[in-house]
């Protein structure tokens, strides 16, 4: 996407792959700053504290982390140790494991002396594939918004949650890709953006939409249901961090409540995600998807800037309070009308049937 008219991606290799440059998302939407990661441990730190975040982007960062680990030492033992650490930095988004395993499958059959070249090539391919995948998700989903416009003949109100946009991927996004594609085609639309406490990724979504000139309104997380009851939401589109083979979806905490409200108000609820987010090993999302629990500090305090633009942290409640912070929840497939992927839009159960061969080969 373009930032101030300049095409910008969330991650790119620099110095012939000796480092990667990322956008430090912990500073957004207040400051746009890039940061260089030149050691695989820097990538681990960046994923852990969420300088990079969003399932597809942490997968791509994981791939580059493996490439940096190979540069440090391409022998099996140190490489496998680093890969183990990298793929476990955050547990819910399966894209991280997927990317690390894809790198290892390419690297391990090769002689250590040949691994660096192969690692750089594979990480670059994973990065580029993410761009193309997200573009295809946008194309697959834009039609849904245009169809609603043909029926309603007024701007289509889309509700989204968290940030499944350009910042969560290498480019375009997942849930926001259909919105960008429909907007580019000239479909009148407006986006309701849930702020997404406690990390406020919705503010990243608002920042992105602002950059691209897409009409939008920020709402507090609990406003979605009320808007749906009053006919102010025509469709919900969210991203995903892991999808089971029967189409249960783990996404940012609060997604499940949006899905319940959508079901109660006959609002179609879509999930947009690449196939790399599907975990074909899992079936029952609520029981089987590991949910990340993050620090209570994220609930008890909030970071931002004051009116002069200086960084501040506000302590919302005593640091001695107990606070629970599950970062994701799971929405059962029965609440999901369709999963928008790079291969088209599938009902959750169709997803499973269409890729029966993949499932069978894994059993
Ligand atoms: O904790 P985050 O910010 O890494 O959360 C992941 C997400 O960005 C969302 O859950 C998103 O909706 C799916 S990833 C495109």
Q: 14-51, pLDDT tens digit by residue? A: 999 999 999 999 999 999 999 999 999 999 999 999 99
pLDDT value at 363 more than 60: no
Q: Name the residue of 22, 53, 277 whose CB sits within 8 Å of the most ligand 1 atoms, as the mutation to test its pocket.
A: 53
- The angle, 0 to 180 degrees and rounded to 10, between the axes of the packed helices 115-152 and 55-72 is 170
pLDDT in tens, 90-113: 999 999 999 999 999 999 999 999
HSE, side-chain direction, 13 A CA sphere, residue 158: 32
The answer to whether residue 241 is catalytic is yes
Q: Name the residue of 89, 160, 162 whose CB sits within 8 Å of the most ligand 1 atoms, as the mutation to test its pocket.
A: 162
Q: Which residue has the tokens 């300088």?
A: 51
Cβ-contact 292, 91 below 8 angstroms: yes
Which of 360, 155, 351, 211 is closest to 270 using CA atoms? 351
Centre of ligand 1 to C-alpha 25, Å, is 12
Ligand 1 close to Cβ of residue 163 (< 6 A): yes
Of 335 and 349, more confident: 335
Q: Looking at ligand 1, which residue's alpha carbon is closest to its atom 9? A: 252
The pLDDT value recorded for residue 357 is 60
Same fold, 2-129 and 140-362: no
Q: Looking at ligand 1, which residue's alpha carbon is closest to its atom 8? A: 54
The pLDDT value recorded for residue 356 is 64
Centre of ligand 1 to C-alpha 169, Å, is 10
CATH architecture, domain 140-362: 3-Layer(aba) Sandwich (3.40)
Cβ-contact 60, 130 below 8 angstroms: yes
Q: Which atom of ligand 1 is nearest to the CA of 327?
A: 1
Domain ranges for the chain, please list them: 2-129, 140-362
Centre of ligand 1 to C-alpha 93, Å, is 8
pTM score above 0.80? yes
Residue numbering of the annotated binding site for substrate: 53-55, 90, 201, 251-252
- CATH code for the structural domain at 2-129: 1.20.120.420
Q: Which atom of ligand 1 is nearest to the CA of 168?
A: 15
Mean pLDDT (whole number) for 308-336: 97
DSSP 306: -
């Amino acid at each position: 996407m373009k930032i101030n008219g300049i095409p910008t991606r969330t991650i790119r290799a620099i110095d012939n792959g000796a480092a990667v440059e990322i956008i430090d998302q912990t500073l957004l939407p207040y400051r746009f700053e890039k940061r260089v990661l030149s050691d695989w441990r820097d990538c681990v730190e960046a994923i852990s504290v969420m300088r990079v975040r969003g399932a597809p982007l942490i997968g791509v960062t994981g791939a580059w982390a493996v490439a940096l680990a190979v540069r440090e030492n391409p022998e099996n033992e140190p490489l496998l140790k680093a890969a183990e650490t990298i793929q476990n930095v955050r547990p819910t988004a399966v894209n991280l494991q997927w990317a690390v395993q894809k790198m290892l499958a390419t690297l391990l059959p090769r002689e250590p002396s040949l691994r660096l070249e192969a690692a750089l090539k594979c990480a670059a391919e994973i990065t580029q594939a993410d761009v193309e995948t997200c573009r295809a998700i946008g194309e697959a989903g834009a039609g849904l918004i245009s169809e609603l416009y043909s029926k309603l003949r007024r701007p289509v109100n889309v509700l989204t949650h968290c940030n499944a946009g350009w910042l969560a991927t290498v480019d375009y996004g997942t849930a926001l890709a259909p919105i960008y594609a429909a907007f580019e085609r000239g479909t009148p639309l407006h986006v309701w953006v849930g702020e997404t406490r406690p990390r406020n990724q919705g503010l990243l979504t608002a920042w992105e939409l602002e950059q691209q000139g897409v009409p939008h309104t920020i709402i507090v997380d609990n406003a979605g249901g009320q808007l749906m009851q009053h006919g102010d939401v025509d469709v919900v589109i969210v991203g995903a961090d892991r999808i089971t083979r029967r189409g249960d979806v783990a996404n940012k905490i609060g997604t499940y409540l949006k899905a319940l409200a959508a079901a109660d108000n006959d609002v179609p609820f879509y999930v947009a995600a690449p196939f790399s987010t599907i975990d074909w090993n899992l079936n029952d999302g609520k029981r089987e998807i590991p949910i990340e629990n993050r620090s209570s500090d994220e609930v008890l305090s909030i970071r931002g800037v004051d009116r002069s633009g200086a960084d501040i942290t506000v302590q919302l409640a005593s640091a001695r309070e107990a606070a629970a912070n599950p970062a994701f929840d799971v929405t059962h497939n029965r609440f999901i009308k369709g999963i928008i992927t790079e291969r088209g839009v599938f009902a959750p159960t169709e997803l499973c049937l269409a890729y029966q061969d993949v499932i069978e080969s894994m059993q």
